Amino acid sequence: MKLVDVFRARRRIAPYVRRTPLVLSRWLSDLAGAAVSLKLESLQVSNSFKARGAFNAVIARLEGGHPPARLVTASAGNHGRALAAAAETFHVPLVVFTPVDAPHGKLAAIVRHGAELRAQARDYDAAEHLAKAFAAETGAEFISPYNDANVIAGAATIWLEIADEAPATDTVIVPIGGGGLISGVAAAAKAINSAIAVNGVEVEASCPFQTSVRAGRLVPIVPGPTLADGLAGNPDSDTITFAFIQTLVDRIVTVSEADLSAAIAGLVESEHLVVEGAGAAGVSALIGKCLDVTGRRVVIVVSGANVDAVRLTSILST
Amino acid sequence: MKLVDVFRARRRIAPYVRRTPLVLSRWLSDLAGAAVSLKLESLQVSNSFKARGAFNAVIARLEGGHPPARLVTASAGNHGRALAAAAETFHVPLVVFTPVDAPHGKLAAIVRHGAELRAQARDYDAAEHLAKAFAAETGAEFISPYNDANVIAGAATIWLEIADEAPATDTVIVPIGGGGLISGVAAAAKAINSAIAVNGVEVEASCPFQTSVRAGRLVPIVPGPTLADGLAGNPDSDTITFAFIQTLVDRIVTVSEADLSAAIAGLVESEHLVVEGAGAAGVSALIGKCLDVTGRRVVIVVSGANVDAVRLTSILST
């Protein structure tokens, strides 16, 4: 990915997405002995960073002069919601395959945007399998939530905002699901300042990239249950995000469910922010002392807010 | 207040405060049959709009060439927190009087910013009485949370951001405590567009301005307990905000504790936002059907987020 692609993406999506706040967290700064800021993609349109990639992917296809007759995707929920918003804006029919137990709020939003929801898969991997089979059968165009250059360039626009507001940042912490977010952020951040330290966070229950980087090739793992529903599952066997992560990510750590839960509760308590499990992964890495960032200028990407109120209440009550 | 004072305030405070997001709420738009957006001062520096007025009041005094040796204020918590941040920035000693039962998070932040906290008063009115007595005794300069032209001009800067992003707004809903926020917003909004409808919201448990506007003069009321701790109490008997409200506010409604509670829970559930009682007052007015805004383009000022996690959890659990 060239940096100019990110600038192109930013211009393209500007009318549809929000420049999100970058806020200093006194709580995390004290905890980590560092200057820790949060990039609040939880406040992005659709309540996750996915709006950036989804709008970029749809508009790039329209600019190409061959508007797809129908789109299909697989999603743990947030990409489906964001792509449904983009598809609605440009009047393109969309079918979204998700796990059957995806959070209610994510599924309701997909339906509200007029997409056809098929919430029938056992897990994310099965949803992706069904979506690709549907594309092959019907001719609908499959847009991957992460294995797509335009989706990655859209996510990378986050870094242009951070570089603009906090050019002295020397460390970034980013959650990893399919790897689209960290691929875009790492590529833009290192193109602007090669000295920046890029840290990825997976959950212990599902860490295909830490496993695969160690193995030197993509190794499928068996995902377990996790509060970070947005991060569970295996990536495509041909995903372009693996090469990005191998070459641009300095370190991948894994976080426990207890640390995720403490991060979600701590963000409500100390920063008055509602964040979903995946969105809290970066904060969990500091709470669990998985990363030492003493004395650094750190930005944590808080990727999304789509947690159901019942689950949030139960986390706050424990 | 002249509009140019608001522009002056904006320039003055720009390095210290945040341009907060203005976000469309699909939930409230559907509920009210209107286009309803939220101005998220809950995400302002210090987690309330008070940072705008506090920095403006302190910097204006420094610009005047007579920096106060010591400041004193009274506050339900948010103004104290914001003024403590401003006083810390400019190395001015500050004493803050608050009610003894103000939320823990507000009090802890006042101390963290290095101000001297006196959380000893029975309620807000008693805190204001103590702060003025302290000023008279010691020569410290009293900065009122609302009865101060610079504090009001600071609050008014909110409207410059709204006019910039959503010039078609025709209705605004603003909580009323001491009246500083609505005075500033109403003055700026009507100076820019005299046709705008300005609605104020008080809580049933403490509604001195609705009562006083009806009486044609300031009438003291007896405040009861409320979730909106930031709105409880009587204003100064000579408050300049009364004239602003009499002449510029089109309507004042009151909301119940049940509607406040539903608004706080609904904001977490539908918008993934943490908001304190006072901050949720505008939303409560739509939930409780106190205001009919059908077909209008509405902005609700969400004034603050400083609710303690224990209280929030108990609201979410009911």
Closest CA to B61 of B159, B160, B181, B151: B151
Q: Is the minimum CB–CB distance between A3 and chain B shorter than 8 Å?
A: no
Q: In this predicted structure, what is the pLDDT of residue A64?
A: 86
Calculate mean pLDDT across residues A21-28.
Answer: 96
- Gap between the Cα atoms of B280 and B300, Å rounded: 9
**Cβ pair A305:B272 closer than 8 A:** yes
pLDDT digits 0-9 by tens, A182-233: 999 999 999 999 999 999 999 999 999 999 999 999 999 999 999 999 999 9
Predicted model pTM: 0.89
Q: Is B274 on the interface with A (CB under 8 A)?
A: yes
Mean local confidence (pLDDT), A43-60: 97
Q: Given an 8 Å threshold on Cβ–Cβ distance, is A309 in contact with B317? A: no
Tell me whether A234 touches chain B (CB under 8 Å). Answer: no
pLDDT tens digits along A148-191? 999 999 999 999 999 999 999 999 999 999 999 999 999 999 99
Average pLDDT over residues A12-31: 96
pLDDT, tens digit, 9 for 90 and up, residues B219-262: 999 999 999 999 999 999 999 999 999 999 999 999 999 999 99
Q: Does A268 touch chain B (CB under 8 A)?
A: yes
CA distances from A38 to A239, A282, A300, B133 (A): 28, 9, 5, 42
Residue A318 has pLDDT above 90, yes or no: no
The reported pLDDT for the residue numbered A5 is: 94
DSSP B6: H
Of A21, A112, A268, the CB nearest to B274: A268
Alpha helices in chain A (DSSP H): 3-13, 26-32, 50-63, 78-89, 104-112, 124-138, 149-165, 180-192, 208-215, 241-248, 257-271, 281-287, 309-317
**Interface predicted TM-score (ipTM) of this complex, two decimals:** 0.81
A111 CB within 8 Å of a chain B CB = no
Compare CB distances from B268 to A23, A265, A274 and report the shortest one's residue.
Answer: A274
Q: Do A313 and B316 touch (CB under 8 A)?
A: yes
Enclosing H/E stretch for B313? helix B309-317
CB proximity B307 to A under 8 Å: yes
pLDDT recorded at residue A240:
97
Count Cβ–Cβ pairs < 8 Å, chain A vs chain B.
54
> B317 vs chain A: nearest CA distance in angstroms?
7
Name chain B contacts of A312, Cβ cutoff 8 Å.
268, 316
Q: Given A43, A47, A268, which is nearest B312 (Cβ)?
A: A268
Q: In chain B, which segments carry CATH 3.40.50.1100?
A: 3-48+148-317, 50-142
State the average pLDDT over residues B103-108: 95
**If you average pLDDT over residues B48-59, what whole number do you get?**
97
Q: 10 Å Cβ neighbour count for A221? A: 16
> What is the per-residue pLDDT for B66?
80
CA of A115 to nearest chain B CA: how many angstroms apart?
17
CATH class of B3-48+148-317: alpha beta
A7: CB partners within 8 A, 6+ apart? A160
- Note whether A21 contacts B26, CB cutoff 8 Å: no
Percent with pLDDT over 90 in chain B: 98
| Residue B269 touches chain A, beta carbons under 8 Å | yes
**B46: which chain A residues are within 8 Å (Cβ-Cβ)?**
none
**Which of B272, B313, B314, B318 to mutate: most A Cβ within 10 Å?**
B272
CATH for A50-142? 3.40.50.1100
Q: Does B42 touch chain A (CB under 8 A)?
A: yes
In angstroms, the Cα distances linking B141 to A163, A232, B15, B89, B95 are 41, 57, 24, 17, 10
Taking 90 as the threshold, does the pLDDT of residue B318 lie above it?
no
Mapped onto helix, strand or coil, the DSSP state of residue A76 is coil
Q: How close B285 comes to chain A (CA, Å)? A: 22
Instruction: Report residue A264's pLDDT band, with 50, 70 and 90 as the boundaries.
Output: very high
Q: Compute and round to an integer the Cα radius of gyration of chain A.
A: 18
pLDDT for residue B285: 98
Q: How far is B273 from chain A (nearest CA, A)?
A: 6
Which chain A residues are closer than 8 Å to B317 by Cβ? 313, 317
All residues of chain B having their beta carbon less than 8 Å from the beta carbon of residue A268 are 274, 309, 312
For B125-140, the pLDDT digits (tens) are 999 999 999 999 999 9
In the predicted model, is pLDDT for residue A66 greater than 90?
Answer: no
